[in-house]
Structure 1
Amino acid sequence: MLSKILSLHEIQALAVVTPILVLVVIDDLRNFRIRNQAVLALLVLFGAFCIANGDFDAFKSNLLFGLAMFGACLIMYRFGMMGGGDVKLLAAAFLWMGVENAPTFSVLLGAFAIVYATGAGFHLLPSRFDNGRVKVPYGPTISLAWIGASIAPLII
């Protein structure tokens, strides 16, 4: 979806998506939840972005990829590795990223997750103990990776 030079539509999309992701970060850090309304807004914006660009091929391929990643995340949810909001937000992120930007997004996601887990381990960032397990909010790492992968073409 993103090329080496961001199009006007991509810049506009990032300008609209970023505040939603900031709200996701704040809410997840405070309440350990990702609201359905935020995820739904991101999904609707993806459809609007594709319509504005007239890029129906990207819509189809990214939709299939997003659905596949949603299925993979559901498996992790089933085994208690992540919450339902994290699954939905990750699926939305992979929908926006598509196959071509998924590697950059995934590397950033892993890096931010390690940084967050380290900060939580030193009690510098929010975490919770539930049923003997440490739970951390994934919304901030997903959101930061999303924004980072979106602006990476400008940096690389």
Structure 2
Amino acid sequence: MINVFLVVIFPMCLAFAAFCDLFTMSIPNRVSVVLLVSFVMFAPHGVDLTQILLHLAAGGSVFAVCFCLFALNVMGGGDAKLLTASAVWFGFNASLAAFLLYVSVFGGLLTLLVLLLRSQENLILAARIPVPRLLLTAKKVPYGIAIALGGLAAYPSSPLMQLAFAQLS
């Protein structure tokens, strides 16, 4: 049962955060809280205390960088919290680097797509193409989508997923 929860909770939280960010340009705090609490609750069932502390340290490191970006008004608060809570699930290893790389690549592509959509706003509205209005009018990019895509791409290589796969076989 725990393996099923580990396989499902992370992707579901990321998907919910991406949809919220797309349609409201905000990420509910409860998503980050659910990610952190579920990690703390279920990681001890297969990961030793040292590794859990390293996972939390990875989240703390990502938080420190995100806090600086937030203070400089480069990153939104919801994005910083979601990225931090997601980093906890990867820990200090190659999967964290892969996660951050995926987020960067998807973030760049998302930014280009949003800029393209905004440059064609009149055409999109005239053609009545169903695009969330906030996506065209807001001055920010819904980066929660990039975080979600990066997390989903890197999650199969994360330590918790590897543990779940090993226990299922």
TM-score tier after normalising by the smaller chain length: 0.7 to 0.9
Cα distance change, pair 93–128 in 1 and its aligned pair in 2 (3 A): farther
Unaligned runs of 5+ in 1: 1-7
Equivalent residue pairs, number: 143
Secondary structure of the corresponding residue to residue 46 of structure 1? helix
TM score, norm. by length of structure 2: 0.76
Unaligned runs of 5+ in 2: 119-130, 162-169
Once the two structures are superposed, residues 36-77 of structure 1 have per-residue CA deviations (whole angstroms, 9 ceiling, x without a partner) of 111100001111221221422211011112112101110000
Structure 2: which amino acid aligns with 1:51?
Answer: P
CA distance in 2, matches of 1:11, 1:76: 35
The 5-angstrom pairing of residues 71-82 of structure 1 reads: 71-82=64-75
CA distance in 2, matches of 1:112, 1:128: 21
In the alignment, does 2:97 pair up with 1:103? yes
CA distance in 2, matches of 1:10, 1:115: 33
The 5-angstrom pairing of residues 53-64 of structure 1 reads: 53-64=46-57
Cα distance change, pair 120–64 in 1 and its aligned pair in 2 (3 A): same
In the alignment, does 2:145 pair up with 1:151? no
CA distance in 2, matches of 1:141, 1:108: 8
Secondary structure of the corresponding residue to residue 74 of structure 2? coil
Cα distance change, pair 72–10 in 1 and its aligned pair in 2 (3 A): farther
Q: In the alignment, which residue of structure 2 is the partner of 1:15?
A: 8
Once the two structures are superposed, residues 125-144 of structure 1 have per-residue CA deviations (whole angstroms, 9 ceiling, x without a partner) of 72544xxxx31011111011
Shift of 1:87: 0.8
CA distance in 2, matches of 1:102, 1:142: 12
CA distance in 1, matches of 2:151, 2:28: 17
Q: More displaced, 74-83 or 95-104?
A: 95-104
CA distance in 2, matches of 1:69, 1:22: 21
Larger radius of gyration: 2
The 5-angstrom pairing of residues 80-99 of structure 1 reads: 80-99=73-92
Contact 1:109/1:145, CA 8 A, preserved across alignment: yes
- Aligned-residue Cα RMSD (Å) equals 2.1
Cα distance change, pair 71–77 in 1 and its aligned pair in 2 (3 A): same
TM score, norm. by length of structure 1: 0.82
CA distance in 2, matches of 1:108, 1:81: 19
